[in-house]
Amino acid sequence: MCKRTDLRPLAELSLTVARTDPKPPLGQPGAACLFEMRTKDGHEANLRVEAATPASEQEARLLYRATAQVTVMTPAGVITGVGDEAEAYTRRSEPGFKYAEYMVRARTGNLVMKVWLAVGGASYAATETLAPKALTLLKATQAAVPTV
């Protein structure tokens, strides 16, 4: 997943990849990559792209719904046109700097996708900036992963 993820949609954010971690989704067959990055002013930024492929569509539905129940992020609404089910979440925190997070999750058949983008700075990155980038990455990854 690390080598197949095209980071060009993030170019406008001027992020530099410091490290990648290809740890797969917890307890599910699939692939993932965490990109640990830095902004041009040295703040933390992260991107996690995850594709889980449970054995059946029913298991995928359960996984999709379970994630919504455990996230600490705030629901930002349903997203159309990217699968059987899709929704977005946001979160802002201050771990010594302003940290804006945006996550989009989608399910198509037995494929459950997640793209989480988080960027730190002196001010919060706008959701309107993060959302289209995460959605572009989600769509590109969906196109590359087979479903049943």
- CATH number for the domain that contains residue 124: 3.40.1000.70
- Residue range 2-6: average pLDDT? 92
Look at residue 73 and tell me if it is in a domain. Answer: yes
Here the tokens at position 85 are 């089910």
Amino acid at 102: Y
Look at residue 3 and tell me if it is in a domain. Answer: no
pLDDT of residue 15: 98
Look at residue 125 and tell me if it is in a domain. Answer: yes
pTM of the shown model: 0.94
Count other C-beta atoms under 10 Å from residue 36's C-beta.
14
User: Which residues does residue 54 pair with via DSSP β-bridges, in sequence order?
Assistant: none
More confident: 93 or 28: 93
- For residue 51, give the nearest of 135, 107, 132, 123 by alpha carbon: 107
Look at residue 85 and tell me if it is in a domain. Answer: yes
Look at strands 98-108 and 85-93 and give their pairing: antiparallel
Look at residue 115 and tell me if it is in a domain. Answer: yes
Look at residue 1 and tell me if it is in a domain. Answer: no
- Residues 100/124, Cβ–Cβ less than 8 Å: yes
Q: How many domains does the chain have?
A: 1
End-to-end CA distance of the chain: 19
For the stretch 55-102, pLDDT in tens is 999 999 999 998 888 889 999 999 999 999 999 999 999 999 999 999
Say how many CA atoms lie within 13 Å of 16 toward its Cβ: 7
Q: Measuring CA to CA, how many Å separate 16 from each of 36, 54, 113, 130, 145?
A: 9, 33, 24, 16, 26
For the chain, give the mean pLDDT.
93
The range of the structural domain enclosing residue 86 comes to 8-144
